[in-house]
Amino acid sequence: MKPYFQEIDSCVLACSGPSLNKVDVFSLGLPVVAVSTAIRKIPNPDFWALADRLNKMHGQEGERAWSSKKIIKIVPQSKIIKGDDSFIRAEYKNSGRQEELTQTLFVPGLPLLRGPHKSVTFIIQWLHINGIKNIIFAGNDLKANSFEEKYAYKLETHDMRKKGNFKTTLDQVAKTMKAWYPIAKSKGFEWYSWECGEEFEKLVPKFTRLTKFEFKTNKGLVNKKEKLEEAYKRRKTSQEILNDSVERLKNSFKK
């Protein structure tokens, strides 16, 4: 099976931490992937990754994104019974032993592993095995002084049920990323922190406007963002392709 991304090999991964408010995730002209509840802050991403079922934590923004055919949803194969072609289902299983990770992480054809924070660890793997080399993280703070300071969006009453274990979850994700990042690098992938803060930047390099990439397009490797933006604008969603087909069919009857 061919990787999903063939013209573009870099993306922005929007997590739900407060540093997400420091950046404009769309300003690079790259595909934007929202992770789980980050949809409440980034309601119109190109892709939305969620390993949980749709629930109150995703807000009204999540309900709209779930039914939108313009937003591609990436979900575990077992989590959805039916859906249209705006859903991509990925095979998914419980994590293996630590010593097996080098052989099983980021390997096309193998099921994705369930990490401690299901949606973010799920989508990192899916992106890498589908052609994304460089992931630019936004909102991946990995620490918070309190539950109220953990998110980029305003909290609602129903959010408070997650308050009890918020620090444990952050620590688990940080530990997993420390283990996974060297494996990602060894396989030719790179992660960057876009204003995520010191905790994540102890682990990965900072992304700035001066960061040099060789962006992949269908004409080969180029290092000009303008070329990437042109390639991305040419990309059509499945709905646009369908609309074009319908329009051509209508025109054929007019002749």
| pLDDT band at residue 42 using 50, 70 and 90 as cut-offs | very high
**How does the average pLDDT of the chain come out, rounded?**
79
Q: Do residues 88 and 75 make contact, with C-beta atoms less than 8 angstroms apart?
A: yes
Give the residue-averaged pLDDT of 114-138: 88
Note the pLDDT of residue 143. Answer: 86
- Token output for 28: 């690079």
What predicted TM-score, i.e. pTM, was given to this entire model? 0.79
pLDDT at 249 over 70: no
Residue 11 in contact with residue 33, Cβ under 8 Å?
yes
Collapse the DSSP code of 76 into the 3-class scheme (helix H, G, I; strand E, B; otherwise coil) and give the result. Answer: strand
Which pLDDT belongs to residue 237? 47
Max Cα–Cα distance, the chain, nearest Å: 67
**In this predicted model, what pLDDT tens digit does every residue of 148-170 receive, in sequence order?**
778 777 867 776 666 666 677 78
* Dist CA 145 CA 233 (whole Å): 40
Residue 235, pLDDT above cutoff 70 = no
Residue 217 above 50 pLDDT?
Answer: no
Q: What are φ and ψ of residue 112, in 5° steps?
A: -70, 150
Q: Which of 31-45, 135-149, 159-173 is least confident? A: 159-173
Q: Identify the pLDDT of residue 6.
A: 79
Identify the residue with better confidence: 250 or 94. 94
